[in-house]
Amino acid sequence: MKPWHAHYDPGVPLEVSVPDKPLWAILEESARIYKDRVALDFLGKTLTYPQLWDLSLRFAQGLKDLGVRPGDRVAIMLPNTPQFVIAFYGALATGAVGVNVNPLYTPRELRHQLLDSGAKVLVILDQLWPRYFEVKDEVPVEKVITTGIREYLPFPLNLLYPLKARREGTWVNLPPYEKRVAFQDLLKKPQATPHPARGDDLALLQYTGGTTGVSKGAMLTHKNLLANVLQIEAWDPTSGELKGKGVMLGALPFFHVYGMTVAMNFGLHSGYKIVLLPRPEIKAIVEAIEKHQVTHFPGVPTLYVAFNRFPGIEKRNVKSIRICLSGAAPLPVEVAKEFERITGARLIEGYGLSEASPVTHSNPVQGEIRKGSIGLPLPSVDAKVVDEEGQEVPLGEVGELIVKGPNIMKGYWNRPEETQRALKDGWLYTGDMARMDQDGYFYIVDRKKDMIITGGYNIYPREVEEVLYQHPAVQEAAVVGVPDPYRGETVAAFIVLKDEYKDKVTREDIEKFCRENLAAYKVPRIIEFRESLPKSSVGKILRRELRDEMARAKKP
């Protein structure tokens, strides 16, 4: 028994059993069980579970006819649309390996990922075609499958869409190109017989954000991804009540493994209706929650900040929300409190990383949520806090978090040295600094590389950010270390003020508040007000960009 097991909700198992079957089997089973249930709702256009499975198998046959064989990589560069789900499950049904590609990627980033993965096929949104065309002669792609938003819009939006796209400058006339194939043409094929992949076969290359240099592909197997779905299901002892009835908000991008596992794969496994949003815009999110009576709203802290601040949110019908898992970045305590007050839902902070498919920890669904904690390790996950030599540190002390379980990746694609650094004796070294309390609740102190050292003191940006979020004027905050010839580093805070406080709160006000709540050496010496903060595609605030910006500004 581990200390955290005593704090599991009643009915949550200590371990999950992961069958040796392909990930595509969850869609096949749901198509058999939920025959009349809507699987996807895209701006009013719906697909039932049997329809979705049928289209996935047709797409699989189309890929086979294009020469795709088991083990080949199929890159998918799409927002949250029906085509994304069809392409991913279709690729798995051929025995191919999916490669998630961020639709926001520049040609340079796209080139790197296509070269590194060796993708044979690219499925791409027609609007993004110019980016591929710029690098087409430098990558190994043999076939490009193009599709458009319009293809799955309901009438009359499908007729109006070209006018809107031309007005916004996003309409693209695709040039003749011998390697190009239309997505819809592949759906005219007969159904393929799905490839009987084993659990240890590769299913997905999930590229990490490249925060430690060049972006690299985490190799996730069918078993890894299936295990995480079953771990998430086991974590909620009441999940059986909503099987075939729940409504999942698909606002988190599926090309990120958090959205793929928690919203898409878990949603399909559970027979939920998944409401697809191509962009995680807060107005569309609030409207979707009201219209579809959403029960599950997985998100990131910046989405919950925007939700809390949405004009008139108190009067909106958002009480259908039952459970929200927050991940990808630390959840400020004040944000969680306000969200729960508005919705009456449980907002549970969890933790994960691409290399773990991604979820490893979560606060309990029914039991005690310890604010500021990422919670307890999920069933079948083991976790430790270790020092530089890999030895476990005393209880309550800070060290690097390492994790082990059936959801942990095989390694990094074509990077044996990086794999050896990250995986030791089955343990994944996360690069996150953490501590564990006596009950097995874990607390992320910060990223190992984000720690600020000033005058010999270690400062964790998250601690300073938590204090800033307690100030009534602060909407968003990010803290970074800036090189300083005297102290080594200086603490810099970048703040977005709430609209009603703009031009009313000064840097001196913020500094005074920090001095009342932090040791003197932790108080930011640089305070900048911004209209917005740089964010990743899933809404994670990018401290790295702020650090780089400050470093450039300091150069003569």
**Over the stretch 264-313, which tens digit does the pLDDT of each residue have?**
999 999 999 999 999 889 999 999 999 999 999 999 888 998 999 999 99
Residue 515 is assigned to a structural domain of this protein = yes
Q: Which residues pair with 477 in a beta bridge?
A: 495
Judged against a pLDDT cut of 80, whether residue 448 lies above it is answered with: no
pTM of the model as a whole: 0.85
Q: Give the lowest-confidence range in 128-132, 170-174, 210-214, 339-343.
A: 210-214
Work out how many domains the chain is built from and give that number. 1
* Of 503 and 457, the one with more pLDDT: 503
Q: Which residues contact 342 (CB under 8 A, 6 or more apart)?
A: 307, 308, 313, 314, 318
Domain containing 550: what range?
Answer: 452-554
Q: Is residue 508 part of a domain?
A: yes
| Whole-angstrom distance, CA of residue 402 vs CA of residue 424 | 10
Q: Is the peptide bond before 332 cis (omega within 30 degrees of 0)?
A: no
pLDDT tens-digit map of 455-496: 666 787 888 898 899 999 999 999 999 887 766 788 999 999
Residue 423 covered by a domain: no
* Phi, psi at 450, each rounded to 5°: -90, -10
Specify whether the CB–CB gap between 443 and 351 falls below 8 A. no
For residue 387 the two structure tokens come to 């020092």
Q: Which helix (H) or strand (E) holds 428?
A: strand 427-436
What pLDDT is attached to residue 486?
Answer: 63
Mean pLDDT for the stretch of residues 60-66: 98
> How many Å apart are CA 523 and CA 473, to the nearest integer?
17
- Interval 179-211: pLDDT, tens: 999 999 999 999 999 999 999 999 999 998 543
Distance of CA 38 to the CA centre of its chain: 24
Query: What are the helix (H) ranges across 118-178?
Result: 129-135, 157-168
- Report the Cα–Cα distance between both ends of the chain, in Å, rounded: 58
Instruction: Determine the Cα–Cα distance for residues 369 and 552; give it in Å rounded to an integer.
Output: 41
Residues 335 and 304: beta-carbon distance below 8 Å:
yes
**Position 52 in a domain:** no
How many other CB atoms are found less than 10 A from the CB of residue 438?
A: 8
Residue 196, token pair as written in the block:
């009987």
Share of the chain above pLDDT 90, in %: 76
Lowest mean pLDDT among 136-145, 234-243, 440-449: 440-449
Residues 228, 122 contacting (CB under 8 angstroms): no
CB 374 within 8 A of CB 363: yes
Q: How confident is the model at residue 212 (pLDDT cuts 50, 70, 90)?
A: very low
In a domain, 109, yes or no: no
- The amino acid occupying position 168 is E
476 occurs within a structural domain? yes
Across residues 516-520, what is the average pLDDT? 84
Does residue 533 sit within a domain? yes
- CATH number for position 482: 3.30.300.30
What pLDDT was estimated at residue 459? 81
Is 419 part of any domain? no
**pLDDT exceeds 90 at position 26:** yes
Two structure tokens written together for 108: 């340079």
Beta pairing, strands 323-326 & 346-352? parallel
Tokens of 323: 């459970």
Strands (E), 26-96: 38-42, 45-48, 73-77
556 has a pLDDT exceeding 80: no
Residue pair 115/140 in contact by the 8 Å Cβ criterion:
yes
Least Cα distance to 93 among 50, 63, 49 occurs for 63
